[in-house]
Amino acid sequence: MAEYRKNPDSLSTLSPEQYRVTQQDGTERPFANEYWDNKEPGIYVDVVSGEPLFASVDKFDSGSGWPSFTKPLVTDNIVENRDMSHGMIRTEVRSAGGNSHLGHLFPDGPVDAGGMRYCINSASLRFIHRDELEQAGYGAYSTLFDD
């Protein structure tokens, strides 16, 4: 099993928006981000560490304007922290290995899928299409997309 960490080389290639979101706990604008309406099959990995985080099979349209998932792909790659910023009590979601700020977790997801909504910033993610999983080193996840 691969070990994922914050990669200094990856940090240096982040766009200003990716850096602001992942390293400074930022939030991107809704409906104006790369993956909010992506419907392609594949997985989403941490833009900093490469650790697998979410899969398109667990993605749903929440109407929020951000990519939303019912559950993580690998539970151990997600850390949940209490977030009391902005006058609210929320659950922040971070990547375990990369320590990247990903977004927040809310209890308003589809009831038939557990009721949770992982509301995630596109800027914290890199999408790997089903057809590219093997060459990108994530071939173990290709079975998610077997018919």
Per-residue pLDDT tens over the stretch 62-73: 999 999 999 999
Three-class SS of residue 141? Answer: helix
Of 21, 102, 116, 119, the catalytic one is: 119
Evaluate whether residue 29 is within a structural domain: yes
- The label of the residue with tokens 């209490």 reads 82
Is 146 within the bounds of a domain?
Answer: no
Residue 25 lies in a domain: yes
Total domains, the chain: 1
Q: Is residue 125 part of a domain?
A: yes
* Contact by Cβ (8 Å): 99, 6: yes
Q: Are 60 and 109 in contact (CB under 8 A)?
A: yes
| Residue 140 belongs to a domain | no
Residue-level pLDDT at 38: 97
The answer to the question of residue 143 being in a domain is no
Three-class DSSP category at 49: coil
pLDDT in tens, 73-92: 999 999 999 988 878 788 99
59 neighbors 109 (Cβ within 8 angstroms)? no
The domain of 102 spans 8-135
Residue 147 inside a domain? The answer is no
CB atoms within 10 A of CB 8: 8
Mean pLDDT to the nearest integer, 36-47: 97
CATH code for the domain in which residue 50 is found: 2.170.150.20
- C-alpha–C-alpha distance, residues 110 and 145, integer Å: 21
119 catalytic per annotation: yes
Question: Are 118 and 124 in contact, with CB atoms under 8 Å apart?
Answer: no
Instruction: Tell me whether residue 73 is in a domain.
Output: yes
